Chain A
Amino acid sequence: MNIIVCIKRVPQTAEADVKIDSTGKDIIKDRLAFDMNESDSYALEEAILLKEKFGGTVTVVSLGYPETEDTLRIALAKGGDSAIRIKAEDFDEIDGYKTAVILSSVIRGLPYDLILTGCMATDDYYSMVGQTLAELLDIPHASLVTKLDITNNKAQVYRELEGGLLEHLEVNLPALVTVQTGINTPRFASLIAIRRAASKEIKIVGKSDISKDIISNATLEELFYPPVGKRAEILTGSIDEVVTKLATIIKEKGLI
């Protein structure tokens, strides 16, 4: 089974003090740490588990800047067989749609039975690359998958729905699956694997290798901080006074 995993290197913004840059369309990234997008790391682990079960290869692909090679190399150390970086520096204003088009151009030339991506990237939350990529490649897809198995050359896909329901889909291969966090426990690369991965070659692909002109129908206009809501109220006074006011509000709103 040949599996392609699409990963993205993203800034770690969960606990950071995020500031908008002078263009108004991006954040200041100088002081932020970067890492593999969380759900992508689960997609990678799922691919490696499938490879360990069924054999085959895992190819890791990322559209990113040169630093992305560090992330790709860790993917190799965890069990990836080969890695491709598509040069982000060759493209302007990359969004989810453009990413999917660029990825599809590169992936079309590769052998695969299954493509795995994370369910969404934590930097832009578009949650569209996987599905769009599947459409562009004209293969079926399933999203937000929490369990995956392969039987009879078909993907057995499980999805969690609201209300405690589980959905089981059988999807013909080749297919694309976007993976939810928690589907497995991503491994840490062992030191031996790190040493072996350090000398592996990462293939670099540029704009000249992408045949299509890409026009996105949605453009990013502005990033901004939401205005402070008028309904927010800061309680002041001694601890006893604040607690009394808070308890009154909770009771008045019927929250308990």
Chain B
Amino acid sequence: MNFDLTPEQKMLQDQVRKFAEAELAPVAAEIDKTGQFPWENIKKCAKQGLLGIVVPEKYGGSGLDFVSLAIAIEEISRVCATTGVIVAVNNSLVTYPILTFGTEEQKQKYLPLLCSGAKIGAIGITEPNAGSDVAGMETTARLEGDYYILNGTKRFITNGTEAGIYVVFAYTNKELKHKGISAFIVERGTEGFSLGKHEDLMGIRASGNCELIFEDCKVPKENLLGKEGEGFKICMNTLDVSRVDIGAQAVGIAQAAFEAALKYSKERRAFGQPLCEFEMIQSMLAEMATQIHAARLMVYYAGFCKDKGMPRFSKESAMAKYFAATMAVDVTRKAVQIHGGYGYTKDYPVERFYRDAKILEIYEGTSEIQKIVIARELIK
């Protein structure tokens, strides 16, 4: 049993934290306000090697492990949740499935672009009428000659407005139900592919969230990711990985909220003493620190399971995501509460943390879905 980070992971934590504080933190409030996709941040992250953390060096990545990926997402999210999710999506929802299920040609063609920041990635699973119910998707793909013809609409797609490379799921055979879903790599500019409504979000406001519209979209057949009918498996396998990163994002946001609340509670005085001297404030601070600590251990453990080579670790990643997301919403709420009226203003960052945290319980599988995943693993 060893809870210590490796020397490599410790260095990464130190350097990503300093990088994030120096380069990303100064613009976090501004991009939240404007909703403008932070390309400058992404270019800087690319230079640090943060866009392809687990991708081997030969494809332009950094060649690190999944615990390192989680630590990096945590540290970025601690200062800017928007940049955190953009980077997390590029890493675990786009480069990971291409690396794991792609052909050698696909890896050589797309991974260097995604790791260098020349293109950012997005994934299209959710649809207007199918969120948690993945198999309820309506997008179809039919093979005609050298092309798959895609038709349908994807909704709430992070990085959607800015991405150059999309991993998109569609039915190639509806009769086979979830076994009839296939995955495709779709490039921006492909004939028949356009962007729809740009969402005005409550939190993670600059994450380029929009609709993807496919109208007789001609995708070259060599862009099929994996085999026909493997889409659902690719999707679930990918979500196992990405849920660790959303858990890490939750830990980062909560950590930021806790640090702000602790600082404020020492500075702000009421009834002749600092807030932190009141037992009810102490109770909240103790709960917050404990909740974050527990979530962080669960997130790192889920990453460790992947690094250890467990073929499926759905239960561990779902537990980490479910617990960390719930934790982050609660911790950020407490941070606002400790700040009182000031916490409800934009003069302090905790209201942003609170808004940023809420999505964690919804995207990449709602908390309710996570509990179903956990329960099914328990009873099978």
Query: Quick one: which of A70, A190, A191, A192 contacts B7, CB cutoff 8 A?
Result: A70
Which residues of B, 318-354, contact A by the 8 Å Cβ criterion?
none
- Stretch of B9-17, B206-214, B301-309 at the chain-chain interface: B9-17
Give the interface size class of chain A: 10 to 19
Residue interface mask B4-33, A partner, CB < 8 A = 1: 001110111011101100100000000000
Are A191 and B18 CB-contacts (below 8 A) given A70-B7, A70-B11, A74-B11? no
The reply to whether B14 and A191 contact each other, CB–CB distance below 8 Å, is no
Are A191 and B50 CB-contacts (below 8 A) given A74-B15, A77-B15? yes
| A85 beta carbon closer than 8 Å to chain B | no
Chain A residues closer than 8 Å to B19, beta-carbon distance: 188
The reply to whether A191 and B64 contact each other, CB–CB distance below 8 Å, is yes
Closest to B47 in A: A190
SS of A interface (majority):
helix
Chain A residues closer than 8 Å to B18, beta-carbon distance: 188
Docked Cα-Cα span, A190 to B62, in Å, equals: 9
| A73 beta carbon closer than 8 Å to chain B | yes
The reply to whether B48 and A197 contact each other, CB–CB distance below 8 Å, is no
Residue interface mask A169-197, B partner, CB < 8 A = 1: 00000000000000000001111101101
Closest to B72 in A: A191
| B267 beta carbon closer than 8 Å to chain A | no
Give the interface size class of chain B: 20 to 34
Write the nearest CB–CB distance from A121 to chain B, whole angstroms.
Answer: 19
The reply to whether B10 and A191 contact each other, CB–CB distance below 8 Å, is no
| A18 beta carbon closer than 8 Å to chain B | no
Write the nearest CB–CB distance from A76 to chain B, whole angstroms.
Answer: 9
| A198 beta carbon closer than 8 Å to chain B | yes
Are A189 and B15 CB-contacts (below 8 A) given A194-B8, A198-B6? yes
Are A190 and B48 CB-contacts (below 8 A) given A74-B14, A74-B15, A198-B6? yes
Chain A residues closer than 8 Å to B57, beta-carbon distance: 192
Chain B residues closer than 8 Å to A197, beta-carbon distance: 11
Which residues of B, 160-215, contact A by the 8 Å Cβ criterion?
none
Are A192 and B63 CB-contacts (below 8 A) given A70-B7, A73-B7, A198-B8? yes
Docked Cα-Cα span, A194 to B18, in Å, equals: 14
Write the nearest CB–CB distance from A68 to chain B, whole angstroms.
Answer: 13
The reply to whether B6 and A191 contact each other, CB–CB distance below 8 Å, is no
| B53 beta carbon closer than 8 Å to chain A | yes
Docked Cα-Cα span, A192 to B22, in Å, equals: 20
24 contacts between A and B (CB under 8 A): A70-B10, A70-B14, A74-B11, A74-B15, A77-B15, A188-B18, A188-B48, A189-B11, A189-B15, A190-B47, A191-B12, A191-B49, A191-B50, A191-B53, A191-B64, A191-B68, A192-B62, A194-B8, A194-B11, A194-B15, A195-B8, A195-B62, A197-B11, A198-B11
Interface residues of B (CB under 8 A from A): 6-8, 10-12, 14-16, 18-19, 22, 47-50, 53, 57, 62-64, 68, 72
Q: A190-B47, A191-B53 are in contact. List 13 more A-B contacts (CB 8 A).
A: A70-B10, A77-B15, A189-B15, A190-B62, A191-B48, A191-B49, A191-B72, A192-B57, A192-B63, A194-B64, A195-B8, A198-B6, A198-B11
